[in-house]
Amino acid sequence: MKAYLGIDVGSVTTKVVLIDYEGNVLWNSYRKTMGQPIKALQSAFSALRKDMGDIDIKGVGTTGSGRKLADHIVGADKVKNEITAHALSAVHLIPNVRTIIEIGGQDSKLILIRNGVVVDFSMNTVCAAGTGSFLEHQATRLGIRIEEFGTRALASGSPARIAGRCTVFAESDMIHKQQMGHNLEDILAGLCDALVRNYLNNLARGKDISGPVIFQGGVAANPGIRAAFERELKKEFIVPGYYPIMGAIGAALLARDTKETRFKGLAVSEQQLHTSSFYCSDCPNACGVIEINDSETVIARWGDSCGKWGKDLS
């Protein structure tokens, strides 16, 4: 059996997927990055090796904000941005999809697709008010588990109107609504509405959001957010079964045309890997160079503009 590996290393979560050539998911892992992407990736590889054995992997793709780091660690055949990966997985699942709404822990994306091709996209990587970290922070502030956030929001009879343009303003307004006596369910529903308004104002203004609409990313697990989007846009949202790992699936799909893989093997999980950095002083650019070390040996460097340091040394 030919198997292909997809890796999506984000700032909040690390996703690893194994698929066959037809795109069927054979195995997947979704775990918190916790600021340590190398450890998260090695932990996923250990679990993959335990569950699937030393399976013959014919190609590897990486995506996400940590895609270059993952490439240097595992030896990827395809290194692509999140827009490409998410679009490919969505089209693979629903060929006639026209809009993808993706909300993760630290950023959010809007991707418009026509006839299977990306025609427009926008990303929010600046304001936390339109991301999953906003919801997690407010859930902690309110003393509830993030897993129950959406369900309790659906029980609201009159959502509180909460400012959503900024995380700081939203939290201040939320506290004010608590002090006024709004119940918890109405505040939770108001926070869902605030995130949706923030998303639409920042990413969707002037864009044609038409169905079918796929909702993916970790926040798609929140039924309160889905309901808020559907109320606002008056469209049904499709949440795929593999909604939190769609980027990794897309990366794996991209790797299917690999002729001869660069993959270093699942034994990467046993290496003593850590990163370090320095600033090059050879020119005024003062590039920050990142190193990956296996024990005391440097195996890769990148981050420079001229290419002097950026190379795989393994």
Tokens (6 digits) for 89? 């997985």
CA–CA gap between residue 284 and residue 46 (Å, rounded): 43
Non-local (6+) Cβ contacts of 80 within 8 A are 61, 62, 63, 67, 250, 251, 254
Q: What pLDDT shows up at residue 281? A: 87
CA–CA gap between residue 238 and residue 240 (Å, rounded): 6
Domains of the chain, earliest start first: 3-88+248-269 (3.30.420.40), 95-239 (3.30.420.40), 274-312 (no CATH)
The tens place of each residue's pLDDT in the chain, 314 residues long, gives 789 999 999 888 899 999 999 999 999 999 988 888 889 999 999 999 999 987 899 999 999 988 988 998 899 999 999 999 999 999 999 999 999 999 887 788 999 999 999 999 998 755 555 677 778 888 888 888 888 999 999 998 888 888 766 666 777 777 788 788 888 899 899 888 888 888 888 888 889 999 899 999 888 989 999 999 999 999 999 999 999 999 999 999 999 999 999 999 988 888 888 888 889 888 888 888 888 888 778 877 777 888 787 665 65
pTM for the model stands at 0.87
Q: Treating both helix axes as pointing N-terminal to C-terminal, what angle do 184-199 and 132-142 enclose, rounded to 10 degrees?
A: 160
- Side-chain half-sphere CA neighbours of 73 within 13 A: 27
Report DSSP letters for the chain, one per residue: --EEEEEEE-SSEEEEEEEETT--EEEEEEEE-TT-HHHHHHHHHHHHHHHH-S--EEEEEEESTTHHHHHHHHT-SEE--HHHHHHHHHHHH-TT--EEEEE-SS-EEEEEEETTEEEEEEEE-S-GGGSHHHHHHHHHHHT--HHHHHHHHHT-SS------S-HHHHHHHHHHHHHHT--HHHHHHHHHHHHHHHHIIIIITT----SSEEEESGGGG-HHHHHHHHHHH--PEE--TTGGGHHHHHHHHHGGG-SS-----GGGGGS-EEEEEEE--SSTT--EEEEEEETTEEEEEE--SSSSS-EE--
110 Cα distance to chain centroid:
13
CA–CA gap between residue 41 and residue 16 (Å, rounded): 8
> Contact, 218 vs 176, CB < 8 A?
no
> What single letter denotes the amino acid at residue 165?
R
Q: What pLDDT shows up at residue 165? A: 65
Pairing of strands 78-79, 99-103: unpaired
CA–CA gap between residue 201 and residue 187 (Å, rounded): 21
- Side-chain half-sphere CA neighbours of 41 within 13 A: 33
CA–CA gap between residue 214 and residue 247 (Å, rounded): 13
Tokens (6 digits) for 107? 């950023």
> What single letter denotes the amino acid at residue 56?
D
